[in-house]
Structure 1
Amino acid sequence: MMSDNIESLVEECQFTAVRSSGSGGQNVNKVASKVTLSFDVNTSEILTETEKQRIFEKLANRINKNGVLQVSSDSERTQWLNKKAVTLKFILLIRQALKTERKRIATKPSFQSVQKRLDDKKRQSEKKRLRSSGFDI
């Protein structure tokens, strides 16, 4: 997914501001500085069906039963800064969810590592055999 597509995804989001419980002193009681971003994954026109499916799988704990991804920020004192912060969080989440993981290529252990393991096993078994009753030294 290209970065310009993510910018247009942000345009599909809805922002709501509510009163925050974070820092800000007495100002917290008067100003709605906490920003919540809501993104309806199902109705997105930019995402393909496979991308939507991947988002549902990777971000299942953040998506409600209506298919809406919600991200909020109340770390900053102003609504504008919280909107920037929540947008950045959203972009990072979507990038992470859409990143394809490379398949792991199975490899065999080297001959030397196998030999070392077998030698260690022999040494350990010899040690235990000597400890057992009947072989008092």
Structure 2
Amino acid sequence: MVEATPNIRIPETELTERFVRSSGPGGQNVNKVATAVQLRFDVRRSPSLPPDVRERLLTLAAPRINRHGELVIDARRYRSLERNREDARARLARWIARAARPPKRRKPTRPSRAAKRRRLESKKSRGRTKKLRKPPTE
């Protein structure tokens, strides 16, 4: 069970793990032992995710989601299979926790009178500078 937030828990049945050979350091083990973990989580069909969190997760993690709607997390940071497995699950929990936070609403603002005045002054100043570059007309 992966606990992403106090309200969102992903059961083991929704996760698919595949163990593959990892590149990098590991001595003789690197060519024999499959320690890297490929964790797959079907975002589109998961009953554990509320609809709003699902939509945000699909947007946030878009580069990591394949055409079948699965979020693929590749964990090969450690030499041990168990630590890579924990790392993949922790990363999944972080993705879901990020998607669970609703975005802040934008408060519409207006530029102040002084800001408008400064903008217009800088435009006039810029125009004067450009006018001075032109050759004199008769």
Equivalent residue for 2:117? 115
5+ residue gaps in structure 2?
none
Single out whichever of 124-133 and 14-23 deviates more from structure 2. Answer: 124-133
Q: Identity percentage over the alignment?
A: 35
User: What is the identity, as a one-letter code, of the residue corresponding to 1:4?
Assistant: P
CA apart distance, 1:2: 6.7
Comparing both structures, which one devotes a greater share of its residues to helix? Answer: 1
For the residues of structure 2 that align with 1:66 and 1:132, how far apart are their CA atoms?
62
Equivalent residue for 1:81? 83
TM-score, normalised to structure 2's length?
0.80
Single out whichever of 67-76 and 8-17 deviates more from structure 2. Answer: 8-17
RMSD value over aligned CA atoms?
2.4
Equivalent residue for 1:60? 62
User: What is the identity, as a one-letter code, of the residue corresponding to 1:17?
Assistant: F
For the residues of structure 1 that align with 2:26 and 2:46, how far apart are their CA atoms?
35
TM-score, normalised to structure 1's length?
0.80
Residue by residue over 1:35-66, the C-alpha shift from the partner in whole angstroms, topping out at 9 and shown as x without a partner, is: 11111224423212333233233323322222
Whether the 8 Å CA contact 1:37–1:71 is kept in 2: the answer is: yes
Whether the 8 Å CA contact 1:22–1:74 is kept in 2: the answer is: no
Equivalent residue for 2:10? 9
DSSP 3-state at the match of 1:4: coil
For the residues of structure 2 that align with 1:116 and 1:36, how far apart are their CA atoms?
56
